[in-house]
Amino acid sequence: MESGPMKKHIAAAAAVAVLTVVAGSKTAAQGVKPQPQDTDWNAPAVEKAKKAPQPASPEGLERGHQLYLKHCGTCHGDKGRGDGPLARLHAQRTSRPPYDLTLPEVQTFLTDGEIFWKVSVGYRREGKVIMPAFKSQLPADEDRWRIVQFVRTLGPTK
């Protein structure tokens, strides 16, 4: 049988373990933001290597911003944090919230070509639309590149 101080130590350790499990459950219930590397949605190497055909300009970034708000903001949010008005529905349907495009990991992991490809072709899994394909809604490549250039402004400043 343990002595008084030993019982207190064991009780304290047990309490910490319970709190850790409870906190972990809460985090899992809230949903962890997805990272681009945890997905099976990978662009082909040739697409990842693509670069924007035109440099970013103030006018182009404004066009990209307007297109982003119209087509992307409903899930990714106006500021790109994955908190748009449809983000909760997205998370319920797919078990993952939309990418937080402001995260340094997202900004550095995804190439411009990969973002362009993902915006163009979208993503379906098990018959569910995870992200719509915007190539038919935005047939001009230039418009989808403008969205990519705007998305780059959402990341941390250097």
CA distance linking residue 154 with residue 73, whole number of Å: 12
Query: Tens of pLDDT along 67-86?
Result: 999 999 999 999 999 999 99
Task: Name the token pair of 82.
Answer: 């994955």
- Cα–Cα distances (Å) from 144 to 8, 27, 39, 51, 121, in that order, read 62, 35, 22, 12, 11
89-118: per-residue pLDDT in tens? 988 888 888 999 999 989 999 999 999 999
pTM of this prediction exceeds 0.85? no
What are 37-72's pLDDT values in tens digits? 556 788 999 999 999 999 999 999 999 999 999 999
Residue 138, pLDDT > 50, answer yes
| Location of structure tokens 């939309």 | 98
- Can you give the pLDDT at residue 41? 83
How many angstroms separate the most distant Cα atoms in the chain? Answer: 77
C-beta of residue 67 within 8 angstroms of C-beta of residue 138: yes
